[in-house]
Structure 1
């Protein structure tokens, strides 16, 4: 089994209902994190082979595969697959496990795991 390394970690500020982030769409929040993680890791978006995001409240503006939409909103390649998982309170942790499994199994060399939940807008 291949070793998995976490190269970088990025997050947005913690929001609260009707807080300062209430006017920022959750897809935009996710895209900002993706842009920064690619920048900090010193990789090209084309090198990322899969993106796995966690999101519990997949309704309204956080529905329709928010992980994929965040990737595309960041301006990254349409050829990179991305998915969103819902495992309630452990969604982002599950996303990390799924992304790591892709590397451990030899399916991918570079993946991004993350999560998005706009607490300012729910």
Structure 2
């Protein structure tokens, strides 16, 4: 069985309702997070096999597959698939678990 490792982690800023981030589109926040990861590690985005993103409340401007849409908005390869996990407060933890499970299963 393959092993899975977290090599880097970033998160988006957190704000209050109608606060300083209210006018920032969620995809723009996600793009900053993706770029933050690739600024820190020496990995070509084309080498990524899959993108799993956790998002609390996939409604409104962050509806749909915001993980995939953010990847594409960042200018990364469209051949890389992506999925968004919405498990409320546990979304990011679940996304990490799903990613690790896929790696360990060899998929």
1: CA distance between counterparts of 2:53 and 2:85?
6
Instruction: State the match for 1:83 in structure 2.
Output: 83
C-alpha displacement of 1:62: 0.7
**Which residues in structure 2 correspond to 1:9-48 (within 5 Å)?**
9-48=9-48
SS at match of 1:18: coil
Which contiguous aligned blocks of 4+ residues in structure 1 show a shift greater than 6 angstroms?
none
Q: Would you say 1:50 and 2:50 are equivalent positions?
A: yes
For the residues of structure 2 that align with 1:34 and 1:70, how far apart are their CA atoms? 8
User: Alpha-carbon deviations, 1:5-52, whole Å to 9, x = none?
Assistant: 111111233211122112210011011101111221211110111001
Q: Distance in 2 between matches of 1:43 and 1:69?
A: 20
Q: CA RMSD in A?
A: 1.2
Q: Contact 2:27–2:70 at 8 Å: present in 1 too?
A: yes
Cα distance in 2 for partners of 1:75, 1:104 equals 28
Counterparts of 1:5 and 1:99 in 2: how far apart (Å)?
10
Structure 2: 5+ residue stretches without partners: none
Please state how far the C-alpha of 1:88 moved relative to its aligned partner. Answer: 2.0
| The 10-residue stretch of structure 1 (7-16 or 71-80) with the greater mean CA deviation from structure 2 | 7-16
CA contact (8 A) 2:51 2:82 kept: yes
Give TM-score scaled by structure 1 length: 0.82
SS at the partner of 1:91?
helix
